[in-house]
Amino acid sequence: MTTDEATLTSARARPALWRDAKIRGIAYQVVFVAAVAGFIALIVHNAIANIGRQNIATGFGFLHREAAFGIGESLIEYSPADTYARALLVGLTNTLHVAALGIVLATILGTLMGLARLSSNWLVAKLARVYVEIFRNIPLALQLFFWWGLLDKMAPGPRQAWQILPDVFVSNRGIIYPVPLSNPAYKWVVAALGIGVVAAIGLHRWAKRCQAATGRQFPTGWVALALIIGLPAAVFLGFGAPARLDVPVLKGFNFSGGDAVSPEFAALLIGLVVYTGTFICEIVRAGILAVNWGQSEAAMALGLRSSQRMRLVVLPQALRVIVPPLTSQYLGLTKASSLAVIIGFPDLVSVANTTMNQTGQAIEGITVIMAVYLSLSLAISLAMNVYNRAVALVER
Amino acid sequence: MHKIIVRRCAGLVTALAMVGAIAAANSALAGATLDKVKQAGGFSCGVPTGIPGFAQPNDKGVYSGFDVDICKAVSAAIFGDPGKVKYVPLTAVQRFTALQSGEVDILSNNTTWTLTRDTELGFNFAPVVFYDGQGFMVPKKLGVKSAKELNGATICVAPGTTSELNLADYFRANKMDYKPVVIEKVDEIYAAFFAGRCDVMTGDATGLAAQRIGRATHPDDYVVLPERISKEPLAPVVRHGDEQWNDIVTWGVYALIQAEESGITQANVDDKLKSEDPGIKRMLGVTPGLGKALGLDERWAYNEIKAVGNYGEIFERSLGEGSPLNLARGLNNLWTKGGLLYAIPLR
Amino acid sequence: MTDLTQGIPIAAQAPRPRWTGALAWLRANLFNGVTSTILTLLCAALIAAALPPVIRWALIDAIWSAPNGQACHGAGACWAFIGEKFRFILFGFFPAGETWRPIAAVVIFLAMIVAACDRRMWGRRLALVWVIGLFAVFALMRGGAFGLSTVETALWSGLPLTLVLAVVGMLVGFPFGVLLALGRRSRLPAVRAICVGYIELVRGVPVITMLFMASLMLPLFLPTGITIDKLVRAQVAFILFAGASLAEVVRGGLQAIPRGQIEAADALGLTYVQRTRLIVLPQALAMVIPALVNTFIGIFKDTALVIIISLFDLLTTAETALSDANWQGFYVEAYVFVGVIYWSFCFFMSRYSQLLEREFNRGRRR
């Protein structure tokens, strides 16, 4: 008895230092942090020593100097007289442009293909499967080269351009299409469109409340469609339908008039969309399959039509499975847009590379690239998390 | 348990100590590119990824051309053997980062000597080995006769070059518009131009001529316009802060030029060892002194000429009449023959 | 008595099918309603429009041999270009007389991959096979022993280089990724913070930026005088990147381990290392094997990005072959050729991952 008690008391007394889990944990962390910090310090020390010895300029002062190089395409005003900061901003907007468009189009393509893969129509399902199996298993870089080679090097010159639709031309200068000549009426049409959309949303809310209160259903879809399309159309006709198109015509070196998408941009966008679309297709398909078949059966038993079943029962549940992997596809697409540099589209990486070379400040250039991409992924993650919370299961 | 922790801590301390030792060694080694190169038994040389006549790999991956011969000459001066060079193909955008970081020891990459590059980028330039000027190449069927007619043109240009900057300057000065297409890889940008992606290709005029002959399926369909819109003195580049290494490359180039002026060739350099001319005796190391001053073997210049010949021979082999490019010497002739090449006295 | 049959239920009978055999199948799968019929017809039209020109281009009008590029431009594909450049695209600058060495290396890689697919092999035996295989590949490629001439890594190119980058990247990246994932789930806040920071940093930055840094800027961060082979540096960049991606997959598995397993291990008095090695990892990894294979496919495809830093992988050799002045303009042919090679590897691996997934699901359902 006494011995037992003695053992107990000694066990309750402080154990040897290295046996205390807490102290051991602290010790491990101190050592680990010291090792990492030492490693980083060493790298920084070496870089500073090497840069100092060679007398390389440092700091971000170069951002305010004249860039003096031209950039092929830009969404914002830019000339070689602008600063490096402005040039980098042009690169950033180009990256955002292609990434945003890519995300939207890839989502549409992926969702359509995902639904097609689940279609009861054998041919549709098989074609969708062929699309996925082909484009998912080939490196994106190779696909970009392929589209680029097709649009940039194999397409004919402007004078022999392929006319794929009336007044829409494909040549090695890009895809050229007519745009409406600007007219004051368009401002009102756009305004009408905005009003139509707002009205449709209001109608949808009202119809929902109405259904909840009285059980009466209101044909929201058709009326909303009428509002969104009809209102602008009415305004357009009210102005006498001023539909003068700015049609591309061959002049000098190139087409003039109309609007154009450069082959580099088109190749990058097509490559990103087709490649990412395959992954989104599989995510959508898996998400829908993850919804218990009993849910669909229950919906059928309630007499819901197949479109209603999809919209009201299956999709809301599938989205919970779909959104997290979809987020990482969006991040992947944004990062992959940096491959623009291999096909000569002036995205952020491409402009930053040129800047690094003209100023010789590689570390600063890489810092800019990393900071931008990290903030972009943070922004996308945040946005998708907000959305995910909206669709997530509300648990009691 | 105690022992394990002690052992682990010991392991980490050792690792940290090793890291510290490396850091200490760092400062001791600073600046001694020549020592590093001798110790490693070779150096790396940044060359273009593919400009016919200047640097191009054959199907075995072996590089040859004018830029490559400069590296070979330096290798011969240091090791007595032109083969101690590792060639690193670099695009225009990559080359400066690679030289700054130490990835390459010399850049022989058709690099234009400019003030900013000499100062802010932290480089030193060896003497100019090739005087060039920027030009425009267009398909003949476009019917353009002068660069002044290029308003509105789509122009292919390699990013990160002085050509990219000069192009912007020229169009600004002449109040003209253009649309640049920039692609990093030389192969790709010329493929795009010859496929008709751009109306105009711009770059160093010699490079344009070389690519026209080396790459176009029908070279006669293209023409280089007469205007030269810039001065492009191309020179080998080394890192700032290592005077000895800079001296070796600088005088390595001068020796090639002086050899041509003194009539020393690859074929007759052995006979010239018996020459009575005190200048030649000094240069070839028969009278010792110059080699020691550079920290090299006294035979350094002899080895260079023996390995690659004098400047004229290098030029003729890769660019001149002995080559498919068939370029005239022009400005790249000796000062005595109306050119700009003028070696500083080797004494 | 009178109506015996009344209480006996009549067996349910399916209505007599109106269509049987192939017609029934067609009706059920292709013409099941108006929408379905329209879709079928659209798809059929698409195939009818697209397939014949492709076949004509690839087979009927194709040119199979030609002395040079100019003689090879016709209505169809120029497979003569592939015939001419076949060796270069696959093996690049590797000395021509020694072509058997990269071929043998590729065969060994294939054998290693096939061996790894056999689940009976999983374990120490496989590890041994892989170590020997990698050693053999290295010896074959590098030479300098067994009477083989030395070949600089700068001359390693084409398919063997792609395989080296991918396989070594996965192999070394995997344990690194497991460590990172464990660190991310660690109870020690400093360790966790550093691991999270690393994973998020590497995953947030484009791979090409990492490759750029590894190939062009790394010496700036190293003491002068230390040179590391370019291939090794690109390889390290891949390992760092693969580690971060694999860590996220492994983390998924770790999160799915029931808390009870860990508590049980603790109750048995296992140390952290024992618990992780014997209880946690075997279960966590088994759960994410299909996801791991998918990540491997991603890494394999990402090796194509080394074109940025002038390493001559399969894609770069194809691009280089395209720049030959004598054979110009055969983009589609070259891309189709290397595309088929990449595709075969990835398709095989993805089918394998699906197979594994099915097997594991079957096990769990039972």
End-to-end Cα separation, chain B, in angstroms: 72
In this complex, which of C43, C200, C343 lies closest to A138 when CB atoms are compared? C343
Average pLDDT, chain B: 87
Residue B21 has pLDDT above 50, yes or no: no
How confident is the model at residue A150, as a pLDDT?
87
How distant is the Cα of A3 from the closest Cα of chain B, in angstroms?
26
Q: Residues C96-100: what's their mean pLDDT?
A: 84
Residue C287 has what pLDDT?
81
Q: What is the pLDDT of residues A335-348, one digit of tens each?
A: 999 999 988 899 99
Distance CA B94, CA B188 (A): 16
Cβ contact, residue pair C308, A36, below 8 Å: no
Tell me, yes or no, if B240 comes closer than 8 A to chain C by beta carbon.
no
Long-range contacts of residues A197-201, Cβ cutoff 8 Å, at least 24 apart: A197/A227, A197/A228, A199/A227, A199/A231, A200/A224, A200/A227, A200/A228
CB contact under 8 A, C319 and B188: yes
Rg of chain A on CA atoms, in Å: 29
CB C190 within 8 A of CB C319: no
CB contact under 8 A, B61 and C216: no
Inform me whether the C-beta atom of residue B188 falls under 8 Å from chain C C-beta atoms.
yes
In chain A, the N- to C-terminal Cα span, in Å, equals 53
**Does C191 touch chain B if contact means CB atoms closer than 8 Å?**
no
Query: Using 50, 70 and 90 to split pLDDT, how confident is the model at A265?
Result: very high
pLDDT for the residue numbered B25: 42
- Tell me which of A20, A45, A69, A175 to substitute to probe the interface with B (most B C-beta atoms closer than 10 Å): A69
CA distances in angstroms from C232 to A342, C165, C201, C218, listed in the order given: 23, 9, 22, 12
Chain segment A350-367, per-residue pLDDT in tens: 999 999 988 888 889 999
- The mean pLDDT value for C150-176 works out to 89
What is the SS3 assignment for C52? helix
| A-chain residues near B102 (CB < 8 A) | 50
Please tell me which residue, A225 or C177, carries the higher pLDDT value.
C177
The answer for C 129-148 residues in CB contact with A (under 8 A) is none
Q: When comparing pLDDT for B4 and B109, which is higher? A: B109
Q: What is the pLDDT of residue C239?
A: 93
**pLDDT tens profile C195-240:** 988 988 898 899 999 998 888 888 888 876 677 788 888 999 999 9
Partners of B203 in beta bridges: B135
| Cβ partners under 8 Å of residue B312, min gap 6 | B260, B329, B334
Q: Does the structure show a pLDDT above 70 at B56?
A: yes
Residue A144 to residue C305: CA distance in whole angstroms: 12
Percent of chain A at pLDDT > 90 equals 32
Closest CA relative to residue C67, chosen from C308, C306, C327: C327
Give B303-317 pLDDT, tens digit per residue.
999 999 999 999 999
Most confident of B290-304, C46-60, C273-287: B290-304
Select the residue from C98, C323, C326 to test the B interface by mutation, using most B Cβ atoms within 10 A.
C323
The interface residues of chain C toward chain A in range 186-215, judged by CB-CB distance below 8 A, are 187-191, 194, 200-201, 203-209, 212-213
Among B2, B122, B164, select the one facing A55 at the smallest CB separation. Answer: B122
Query: Judging by DSSP bridges, how do beta strands B222-224 and B237-239 pair with one another?
Result: unpaired
Q: What is the H or E stretch that residue B45 is in? A: strand B43-48
CA A344 – CA A332 distance, rounded (Å): 20
Phi, psi of B128, deg, nearest 5: -65, 130
Report yes or no: C102 and C160 within 8 Å, Cβ to Cβ: yes
DSSP string, A373-386: HHHHHHHHHHHHHH
Burial class (CB in 10 A: 0-12, 13-18, 19+), B328: exposed
> Where is pLDDT greater, at C175 or B214?
C175
- In angstroms, the separation between the Cα of residue C300 and the nearest Cα of chain B is 24
Residue B102 confidence class, pLDDT cut points 50, 70, 90: confident
Nearest to A58 by CA among C223, B92, B122, B106: B122
Q: Does B28 touch chain C (CB under 8 A)?
A: no
Taking the C-alpha atoms of residue A153 and residue A344, their distance in angstroms, rounded to an integer, is: 13
In C, minimum Cα distance to A120 occurs at C29
Nearest chain B residue to A17 by CA: give it.
B2
Of the listed ranges A86-95, A227-236, B15-24, B247-256, the one predicted with least confidence: B15-24
Q: Do B101 and C218 touch (CB under 8 A)?
A: yes
User: To the nearest 10°, the Cα dihedral for A250, A251, A254, A255?
Assistant: -50
Encoded tokens for B260:
């041509």
Q: What pLDDT band is residue B269 in, cutting at 50, 70 and 90?
A: very high
Residues of B in contact with A350 (CB under 8 A): 159, 182, 184
DSSP β-bridge partners for residue A343: none
What average pLDDT does this structure show over B293-308? 94
φ/ψ of residue A165, rounded to 5: -140, 165
In 3D, which of B339, B320, B269, B305 has the Cα closest to residue B82? B305
Mean pLDDT across the stretch C51-67? 87
Compare A107 and C286 and report the one with higher pLDDT: A107
Q: What are the backbone dihedrals phi and psi of residue A249, each rounded to the nearest 5 degrees, phi first?
A: -130, 150
- Type of residue found at C52: P
What percent of chain B stands above pLDDT 90?
62
Q: Closest partner residue to C155 among B25, B61, B194, by Cβ?
A: B61
Paired sense of beta strands B106-107 and B43-48, if any: parallel
Q: Which two tokens stand for residue C291?
A: 């996801």
Answer whether residue B137 shows pLDDT above 60: yes
Residues C104-159 have pLDDT tens digits of 999 998 888 888 877 777 777 888 888 888 888 888 888 777 777 888 888 888 99
Both structure tokens of A289 = 């399959």
Beta bridge partners of B179: B154
pLDDT, position C1: 46
All structural domains of chain A with their residue ranges: 16-54, 84-138+269-391, 182-243
A33 touches chain B (CB under 8 A): no
Q: Which chains touch B (3 or more CB pairs under 8 A)?
A: A, C
- What six digits make up the tokens of B162? 């002085």
Residue B18 has pLDDT above 50, yes or no: no
Look up residue A112 and give its two tokens: 């359509």
Q: Tokens 């992997």 map to which residue? A: A325
Residues B304, B55 contacting (CB under 8 angstroms): no
How far off is chain A from C4, nearest CA to CA, in Å?
Answer: 36
Burial class (CB within 10 angstroms; exposed 0-12, middle 13-18, buried 19+) of C73: middle
The per-residue pLDDT for C363 is 58
- Per-residue pLDDT band for A72 (boundaries 50, 70, 90) equals confident
The residue-averaged pLDDT of C95-105 equals 87
**Closest residue to C93, CB basis, from B50, B61, B97:** B61
For residue C247, the distance in angstroms to the closest alpha carbon of chain B comes to: 24
Instruction: Check whether B250 has a pLDDT greater than 80.
Output: yes
Whether A1 has a pLDDT exceeding 70, the answer reads no
Mean pLDDT, residues B220-230: 93
Has residue A87 got a pLDDT over 50?
A: yes
Q: How far out from the chain centre does Cα B320 lie? A: 17
Which amino acid is present at C296? F
CB C208 within 8 A of CB C215: no
Cβ neighbours of B90 in C, within 8 Å: 310
Rounded mean pLDDT of B206-230? Answer: 90
pLDDT at C61: 85
Q: Are the beta carbons of B44 and B98 closer than 8 angstroms?
A: no
Report the pLDDT value the prediction gives residue C17, as an integer from 0 to 100. 61
- In this complex, the chains that touch A, judged by 3 or more CB pairs closer than 8 A, are B, C
Superfamily of domain A84-138+269-391: MetI-like (1.10.3720.10)
Burial class of C229 by CB neighbour count within 10 A (0 to 12, 13 to 18, 19+): exposed
In words, the CATH class of domain B134-230 is: alpha beta
For residue B30, what pLDDT band results from cuts at 50, 70 and 90? very low
User: Is the pLDDT at B71 greater than 90, yes or no?
Assistant: yes
Q: What is the model's pTM?
A: 0.86
Q: Which residues pair with B155 in a beta bridge?
A: B180, B200
Q: In chain B, which residue's Cα lies nearest the Cα of A149?
A: B192
Q: Which of A357, A354, A335 is nearest to A344 (CA)?
A: A354
Question: Do B262 and B279 form a contact (C-beta atoms < 8 A)?
Answer: yes
Q: Residue B344: helix, strand or coil by DSSP?
A: coil
Residues 60..99 of B with a Cβ closer than 8 Å to C: which? Answer: 60-61, 86, 88-91, 94, 97-98
Q: Residue C336, class by beta-carbon neighbours within 10 Å (0-12 exposed, 13-18 middle, 19+ buried)?
A: middle
Average pLDDT of chain C, as a whole number: 85
Q: Confirm if C69 and C326 have CB atoms less than 8 A apart.
A: yes
Average per-residue pLDDT for chain A: 85
**Torsion angle of C-alpha atoms B269, B271, B277, B280, degrees rounded to 10:** 20
pLDDT at C138: 87
Least confident among A232-246, A313-327, C156-170: A232-246
Structure tokens at C254: 């770790």
Percent of chain C with pLDDT over 90: 20
- Beta strand B134-139 with B200-204 is antiparallel
- Residue ranges of the domains in chain B? 35-131+234-337, 134-230
**In which residue are the tokens 């998918």 written?**
C294
pLDDT at B14: 46
**pLDDT greater than 80 at residue C315:** yes
Nearest neighbour of B187 by CB, restricted to C219, C312, C319: C319
Interface test with A, best of B27, B182, B242 (most A CBs within 10 A): B182
CA–CA gap between residue B263 and residue B254 (Å, rounded): 14
Q: Is the pLDDT of residue B23 over 70?
A: no
Give B117's pLDDT tier (boundaries 50, 70, 90).
Answer: very high
What is the pLDDT averaged over residues B199-220? 90
In CATH, the number for domain B35-131+234-337 is 3.40.190.10
Using CB atoms, which residue from C93, C217, C309 is nearest to B60?
Answer: C93
Among A102, A139, A113, A104, CA closest to A286: A113
Where does A118-227 show beta strands of DSSP type E? 162-165, 168-171, 174-177, 179-180
What is the rounded distance in angstroms from the CA atom of residue B287 to the CA atom of residue A137? 68
Q: What is the pLDDT of residue C204?
A: 87
Given pLDDT bands bounded at 50, 70 and 90, which one contains residue A332? Answer: very high
Q: Which residue has the tokens 């130490």?
A: B102
